[in-house]
Structure 1
Amino acid sequence: MSDSKKVECKDPAGHWLHICQLRKEGRDEDVAALMKDPGHICLNCNAVAKEAKNLCNPSPFSKA
């Protein structure tokens, strides 16, 4: 039995807007635009985005 636990998407209804889904669809230009000037990181996949709504498990971070 594995000790690791899969973290689910915190907004399944909005998953179509998340960077991981856009990457799967090959929408690289959209992904690049969402990643400009990031302020949030996904705790599932470590993707960064300007807005939390574009990540499955977002956490804000401070820019140094």
Structure 2
Amino acid sequence: MSEFTSEECTDPAGHRLHICQLRKEGRDEEVAALMADPGHTCLNCNAVAKHAKNLCNPSPFSRA
């Protein structure tokens, strides 16, 4: 997989905190904690997270 580009990540400076990067680093426990009680999904990789700041291209979703 190629390195991300600014078009793929809306916050390149914060990419080190994004779920895709944490997965790449094998930080599975952190990933699991960030994915608990999700309210956002990444439009790039479909990962879910509680906070938008942990996704490259976040979009909120309703939990209804």
Same fold (TM over 0.5): yes
Structure with higher Rg: it is 1
Identity fraction in percent: 86
Structure 2 residues without counterparts, runs of 5 or longer: 1-6
Q: Where in structure 1 do 4 or more consecutive aligned residues deviate above 3 Å? A: none
Cα deviation, residue 46, structure 1: 0.1
> Are 2:51 and 1:61 equivalent residues in the alignment?
no
**TM-score, normalised relative to structure 1:** 0.89
Q: Which amino acid aligns with 2:57?
A: N
> Are 2:37 and 1:37 equivalent residues in the alignment?
yes
**TM-score, normalised relative to structure 2:** 0.89
Residues 10-53 of structure 1 show CA distances to partners (whole Å, capped at 9, x for unaligned) of 00000000000000000000000000000000000000000000
Task: Supply the distance in 2 between the matched residues of 1:38 and 1:32 (Cα, whole angstroms).
Answer: 11
